[in-house]
Structure 1
Amino acid sequence: MDLGLKGRNAIICAASQGLGRACAMALAREGANVVINGRSQETLLATAADIRREAPDVTVTPVAGDVTEPAVRAALVAASPQVDILVNNNGGPPPGDFRDWDRDAWIRALDANLLTAVELIRMTVDGMGERGFGRIVNITSSAVRVPIPVIGLSNAARSALTGFVLGLVPTVSGKGVTINNLLPGPFDTNRLRQSKAITQHLTKNNVAGRVGDPEEMGAMCAFLCGRYAGYINGQNIQMDGGLYPGNF
């Protein structure tokens, strides 16, 4: 299936590893030029090299830094001749007990998982609408629908982003712009492997009998960015192996 992405320009945040990397790789394989971001320059450059090997005909531009920083966001947007696709992604805040989180912890969580995405959308969505094509995909969490007690900071921030997106969609859908959210459950990523509390909560209820492969997330992201997804807008697409039964 040709998704019509050849020559499109995409920004993928937190793309040096995990789900962001999988999305960047999938978009590049479809012919999109990618601007990728990650905190570790070494890891980011290694990912850029891997993408170039897989998709030698596309342009791969790494921009290292913390995407919560205004200068990094500006560099991401400046690195692309025009932004046709934006994939918002960022690591979640640490787990814990809400009784231990002060105001600063809440502000950091909102900055990382709500305000950064909102700002990147603000910087790119009008240009997309003027050109008549745009795809925005926010990687949030299955916890938006099934909150996980130990990650209350993430539950709150990502749910807030969902509400913002649903309010924005009617203002841009007639301009060829779609905004959708991908809600991953347990996927084989470093975050899942390194967080014992999250792993135990998710895997003990995983009806699929396995965790997800990041390539599955990448393929879904690429599809949502392609020519056949223009009528999919304002959706929360659950990818959790059937963990959440609410769609039935």
Structure 2
Amino acid sequence: MDLGIKGRKAIICASSRGLGRGCAMALAEAGCDVVVNGREPNSLHQTAEEIRRAYPVVVTEVAGDVSEPSVQDALLSACPQPDILVNNNGGPPRRDFRDLTREDMLRGATQNMVVPLELIQRVIDGMAERNFGRIVNITSLSVYMPIEGLDLSSGARAGLTAFLAGVSRSVANKNVTINNILPGKMDTERLASGIRAGAEKAGVSYEEQAAKQAAEIPAARFGTAEEFGQACAFLCSAHAGYITGQNLKLDGGLYNSAF
């Protein structure tokens, strides 16, 4: 399916690995020039080279933590007029809420709520002027259902969701959309760390704990970064202009609800 975005320019935050990488690969496959980002320069370069080998698009690397204003500046310097922005950032580590300090809470809220809002502030008016914009925020299924130890991440991402509910509707008439993708149990290092912790607590092997968690999902498996990226690419496509302010759950049916 031609997504109608060949030649568009996309910034994908935290895209050297995991779900962000899946999004960068899918957007490049659709013909977008991509700006990829990650904290670790070597893994970032490896991802960029893989995209260059696979697709005839321009790939620009911006290393660093997207939470830092200087890195945000570098992203917008590399791509001053993005058509697509995919917000992604690492969340706070698992921790009992009783152990969170004020500094921890402020850092978590900054990473998962303030930073994406700062980037949206900087790109949304230009998108509206050009009459095309696609903003996708990678949040979490924990916005809808709690995950033990990720309360800070859940709260910050829920705050982002509520904040943007009104913003998304204010620019819909300019062909600018803002949507959120809520990953469930995806086959990433963050999930693996949770499985390791659960296995240690339960006194079972990693494999046993992973099988137990997969069995809880109606699809009976974990999701992949590749299928996540393709869903993101569709929301960024020319065909998705009538979809805005929505929360797309990619969870294999784990969230049990009729609506």
Coarse TM-score class (shorter-chain normalised): over 0.9
Deviation of the 1:198 alpha carbon = 7.0
Indicate whether 1:206 and 2:205 are aligned: no
Instruction: Identify the range of structure 1 (175-184 vs 206-215) with the bigger mean alpha-carbon deviation.
Output: 206-215
Deviation of the 1:81 alpha carbon = 4.4
Counterpart in the other structure of 1:12 = 12
Deviation of the 1:206 alpha carbon = 1.7
Counterpart in the other structure of 1:232 = 243
Please give the TM-score of this superposition, normalised by the length of structure 1. 0.96
Counterpart in the other structure of 2:77 = 78
**SS of aligned partner of 2:223:** coil
Counterpart in the other structure of 1:106 = 105
Deviation of the 1:78 alpha carbon = 1.1
CA distance in structure 1 between the partners assigned to 2:167 and 2:174 by the alignment: 12
Please give the TM-score of this superposition, normalised by the length of structure 2. 0.92
Residue deviations 1:15-50 (CA, integer Å, cap 9, x gap): 000000000000001100000100000000000000
The one-letter code sitting in structure 2 at the alignment partner of 1:206 is I
After superposition, the Cα gap between the structure-2 partners of 1:142 and 1:202, relative to the gap in structure 1 and judged at 3 Å, is farther
Contact 1:192 1:198 in 2 (8 A): no
Deviation of the 1:112 alpha carbon = 0.7
The one-letter code sitting in structure 2 at the alignment partner of 1:66 is D
Describe how 1:20-169 pairs up with structure 2 within 5 A: 20-55=20-55, 57-169=56-168
Counterpart in the other structure of 1:187 = 186
**SS of aligned partner of 1:160:** helix
The one-letter code sitting in structure 1 at the alignment partner of 2:250 is M
**SS of aligned partner of 2:257:** coil
After superposition, the Cα gap between the structure-2 partners of 1:121 and 1:81, relative to the gap in structure 1 and judged at 3 Å, is closer
The one-letter code sitting in structure 2 at the alignment partner of 1:88 is N
Contact 1:7 1:32 in 2 (8 A): yes
Deviation of the 1:207 alpha carbon = 2.1
**SS of aligned partner of 1:150:** coil
Indicate whether 1:217 and 2:228 are aligned: yes
Contact 1:185 1:202 in 2 (8 A): no
Counterpart in the other structure of 2:204 = none
CA distance in structure 2 between the partners assigned to 1:97 and 1:148 by the alignment: 11
Deviation of the 1:202 alpha carbon = 5.2
Residue deviations 1:172-204 (CA, integer Å, cap 9, x gap): 111110000000001111111122347869546
CA distance in structure 2 between the partners assigned to 1:202 and 1:168 by the alignment: 36
CA distance in structure 2 between the partners assigned to 1:223 and 1:198 by the alignment: 34
Runs of 5+ in structure 1 lacking a partner? none
Contact 2:11 2:34 in 1 (8 A): yes
Contact 1:9 1:81 in 2 (8 A): no
Contact 1:23 1:219 in 2 (8 A): yes
Deviation of the 1:115 alpha carbon = 0.5
Identity %: 55
Deviation of the 1:92 alpha carbon = 1.1
CA distance in structure 2 between the partners assigned to 1:47 and 1:124 by the alignment: 25
Instruction: Identify the range of structure 1 (185-194 vs 218-227) with the bigger mean alpha-carbon deviation.
Output: 185-194
Contact 1:146 1:244 in 2 (8 A): yes
Q: Which has the larger radius of gyration?
A: 2
CA distance in structure 2 between the partners assigned to 1:81 and 1:109 by the alignment: 27
Q: How many residues align?
A: 247
CA distance in structure 1 between the partners assigned to 2:198 and 2:158 by the alignment: 18
